[in-house]
Amino acid sequence: MKARLELKYSPAHVNKPILSKAILEARIPINILKASLTASEGIMTIEMDADRETIARVIEILKSNGVQVKEIPRYVEINTEKCIDCGACTGVCPTDALTLNSDKKLIVNEEKCILCGNCLKACPRGAVILYK
């Protein structure tokens, strides 16, 4: 199963190789989808594809090393009552997670979504909801 997590590092932990430790101990690849790191804090969105036990182990490793972990249950949702399928969101999506099908209806591929928020800003009708 795929899992996406938001990680928050405090100033005391931002310069430590905690994610590397989790990767080495759990022996699974972890994809960093988005990261913002400064000397005072770090916020990352990561994704891994593993069984529930391994995902739980990674979460425990991160938490035990001072990282705040939040599971991301969904990525992006479109309010179909507001959406007019104009395609404004598709033009700003860097991963093609949002596309228009042959019937010009908006399609969301949550596997590709990196939670950048570009679609949220581009939507003229406020139909995009990000769950971060």
pLDDT tens digits, one per residue of 60-73:
999 999 999 998 87
Hey, what CATH topology would domain 76-130 get? Alpha-Beta Plaits (3.30.70)
Residue 64: both structure tokens together? 């035990």
Determine the length of the chain: 132
Please tell me the predicted confidence (pLDDT) of residue 67: 97
Residue of 120, 122, 114, 72 lying closest to 96 (CA atoms): 114
Decide if 128 contacts 119 (C-beta within 8 A): yes
**Predicted local confidence at residue 76, as pLDDT:** 84
- pLDDT given for residue 65 in this prediction: 96
pTM of structure: 0.60
pLDDT band at 132 (very low <50, low <70, confident <90, very high): low
Tell me if domain 2-71 and domain 76-130 are identical in fold: yes
| CATH number of the 2-71 domain | 3.30.70.260
Strands 2-9 and 42-49 turn out to be: antiparallel
Q: Indicate if the pLDDT at residue 19 is higher than 90.
A: yes
User: What are the residue ranges spanned by the domains of the chain?
Assistant: 2-71, 76-130
